[in-house]
Chains A and B, each alone.
Chain A
């Protein structure tokens, strides 16, 4: 992958980092869709392997709160790339990657469920692991390990009304 040409295409906003054999591209949220579309349609990254998120609330030296991480793979050249972007409260929103890769369907729903990040343009952005009446986002760093007792307040459904 030619980083210089890619960076020029995006107007020089891209940053690249490398650790062990991981190559990371760090992109501002506004250019994410442009970058991903370019990766998919021009550079042959035809598989979206994973979408995940990290809450950098207590991370040393972090300036942004949520880092959303995409792992893309080129199945022909076996190249693997980690794309990372940052969003912040109060309304963390990113464009959905569903229109490029269908993998984004469930993985983005999971990130929405556990971190509360909205994906604009997702066809079915609902909670996937937690029940709909659950209001918190369990993998955020300010959510306690033992929970906040939501489970005990769920309405009891009896056999007669189910």
Chain B
């Protein structure tokens, strides 16, 4: 900790409203300020991000995020890989809830190609998307708790994540970077044993959730660290393009699952979790509430999952045939080759469109420009983390150095989404 001239410039008390901007600007010109590099790799940032903090004693007067340490180049890669191959890249954009990105990508591609996926597939993807929402929120809440000193909550929630890994592994054969969705469906169908795994997870989860709720929600130490910290007003949230739990915690009741229904969400009954305060505590509460709503969605979807094919059928000539069809029938084999060979494949319109889904972090959109080839001419990803991280420099001034992990954690920044 820098110990500097605090007697000359007594630290002002914490300003819940973020502090008046003029006094910060004045302070930023003073020569007694310290510059502290927080990261690129710091235990409280979880990923490689660098924050350049200007400190007045322990008070942050200026916070400058510096991104670009991964240099992934995912969007450039999207212009050379076809619509099915690129799914292996989009799930690496978000290493907290990879399947949510796959679903968003193929949702956009299917809309571009005009493919209507089967009812069974919509329900299956809905369940997986909600499992990913749980997956993401579990880590986010757990990690904030860990950074603020509550180790038990993190362990409890991380163990639940392991159970979701198991479910996903049973469906796709992979625990994490699953590449499970395909244009027009998913890689394999699921069976009853899988459904039992999901049911038992959904049955047991609320118990663990209430344990963590009792550990944190009224915990004096935790509440003091997050309540009134990092306040984002409703106007700012809209003006800065915030979506998802962060916007809903600031009172912007907007959820793409309700506003622009996709998959099976129009058939299912659930509520939107929202709050008004816009501080770190509100974001924590919204995420906790959303987890229970996700369980509600999963319970309804798993009981009503329709029978039938999970992929759009062969006659459509627009999607890859199933593996058994490829191995056991000549039509399947020919069709597979037709889809895979260069200059064949999907019938792609020369058009462009934007489509988005409600990912755990907010609006995850893709803008695809297609030139008739079976790969995107331009594959733009609108990542929620990138938009949310831009608010950090507005949220941070006026708070203490020890509030950095709370604010950073509550924004749930994923570095691979920043760099793409």
Contacts and interface: CB of A to CB of B under 8 A. Distances in A.
Interface string B79-91: 0100000000000
A54 interface: yes
Contact of B68 (A52, A61, A128): A128
A105 interface: yes
Interface in B372-387: 372, 377-378, 380, 382, 386-387
B80 A145 contact: yes
Contacts, number: 104
A61 B372 CA distance: 12
Given A52-B367, A71-B365, A19 B259 contact: no
Given A50-B367, A54-B377, A103-B239, A60 B350 contact: yes
B414 to A, nearest CB: 15
A119 B88 CA distance: 34
A78 B71 contact: no
A75 B68 contact: no
Contacts of A139: 75-76
Interface residues of A, number: 37
A54 B369 contact: yes
Contact of A101 (B73, B239, B351): B239
A128 B243 CA distance: 22
B290 interface: no
B266 interface: no
Contact of B241 (A47, A59, A131): A47
B112 to A, nearest CB: 8
Contacts of B260: 78, 80
A9 to B, nearest CB: 23
B162 interface: no
Given A80-B260, A106-B387, A54 B378 contact: yes
Contacts of B76: 138-139, 145
A105 B390 contact: yes
B53 to A, nearest CB: 17
B377 A22 contact: no
B238 interface: yes
B390 A103 contact: yes
A75 B241 CA distance: 10
B254 interface: yes
Interface of B: 67-68, 71, 73, 75-77, 80, 111-112, 114, 236, 238-241, 243, 252, 254, 259-260, 349-356, 363, 365, 367, 369, 371-372, 377-378, 380, 382, 386-387, 389-390, 394, 419
10 contacts: A19-B352, A22-B354, A49-B241, A49-B243, A49-B365, A54-B352, A80-B354, A102-B236, A107-B386, A129-B68
Closest 10 CB pairs of A and B: A103-B241, A129-B68, A106-B390, A50-B382, A54-B378, A52-B380, A78-B259, A22-B353, A102-B240, A54-B369
